[in-house]
Structure 1
Amino acid sequence: MTTSFPQLGLDAQLCFPLYAASRAVTRRYSALLAQAGLTYPQYLCLLALWEADDPLTVGELGARLRLDSGTLTPVLKRLEAAGHLGRRRDPADERRVLLEVTPTGWELRDRVADVPGGIASGMGLSEAEAAQLRALLDRMLVGLDDSASD
């Protein structure tokens, strides 16, 4: 019984709706992205690369996506094998690997341009509510990062 421990009730946990919502959103993205032959992690990588002004290093991409290189490397290899990105050594520092979107990868951007709208339409949130949720989640991540560094 949780009556003496109400803080342990499932409905009292913030983590559970975050976890369930994350899984549901990822599942929805996966369904929409499958039509373009992409997985959700591949899509995230491409989003970050498409918005970058210059090629990103693997480390920069990992920091942007909050992923370690062990998680990121297989995703990048699959994107490279599919012809969506190229990897090359940085001529200024051979230890760094630069990631660049290929012409095929840029064409893919056009094919997935409607994915965010498809996701938004199924969330049951207004545009303002979605923006507010995004701001709260961003603030939560900053707080978690700050508390982890203490």
Structure 2
Amino acid sequence: MSDRPQSPSPERETFHLLRAVTVEFGLRQAAFAGEHGLHPTDVRALICLLDAERAGEDATPGRLGAELGLNSAGTTSVLDRLERLGHLTRERDPRDRRRVLLRVTGRAKELGWAYFGPLVHGTEELLRGFAPAERAAVDRFLHGVRELMTGEGAPVNGSDSGGS
């Protein structure tokens, strides 16, 4: 048996590259949070709210808490902090006054674009260099990984002991 470590498969290399990208993005999110007096969960909350807005879906405290994996007290704490900092508003749903809808403020969007806009634009420019079939493959890959991470049986909170 050889003492030399085996080279990872191309698939494992791609996994490690994806992990490196997500780590780097997480570091940028943390830096943004620190620069603007936010907790990293606050940034995740803003992303969830912006994703709901982009999809044309209502954002409610219950939905946000479920997406963040927080109980109602934790969700309220995040919402209070974001509202106090001027990053979101809570409004009564005009169709059902019992429901509260969450909206990201223009100020929060401006801060996000000022910080992440160059990355968004750079990514768009990078993708313009891909042929349609290549972009389709990238999209299929990323959707597949997301499904693996969010689908039934996906490890959560360290419940999977598998290594990388």
TM-score by length of structure 1 reads 0.57
Distance in 2, matches of 1:10 and 1:77, equals 47
Distance in 2, matches of 1:3 and 1:26, equals 35
Distance in 1, matches of 2:2 and 2:115, equals 42
Deviation at 1:121, TM superposition (A): 6.4
Alpha-carbon RMSD across the aligned residues, in angstroms, is 4.5
Higher relative contact order (CA 8 A, sep 6+): 1
Deviation at 1:79, TM superposition (A): 0.8
Report the AA paired with residue 83 of structure 1: G
Distance in 2, matches of 1:148 and 1:115, equals 35
Q: Is the counterpart of residue 117 in structure 1 residue 120 in structure 2?
A: no
Report the AA paired with residue 84 of structure 2: A
Deviations 1:97-134 (A, max 9, x none): 523226xx1233234334443224677x8225695545
User: 2:32 touches 2:115 (CA, 8 Å); kept in 1?
Assistant: yes
Please name the residue that 2:103 is paired with.
Answer: 101
Distance in 2, matches of 1:121 and 1:80, equals 28
Deviation at 1:32, TM superposition (A): 4.8
Distance in 1, matches of 2:57 and 2:87, equals 16
Return 5+ residue gaps in structure 2 as ranges: 155-164
Pick closer, same or farther for the CA change 1:144–1:60 going to 2, 3 Å.
same
Deviations 1:66-104 (A, max 9, x none): 42133961432321221322346768485xx523226xx
TM-score by length of structure 2 reads 0.54
State percent identity of aligned pairs: 23
Alignment coverage as a number of residue pairs? 141
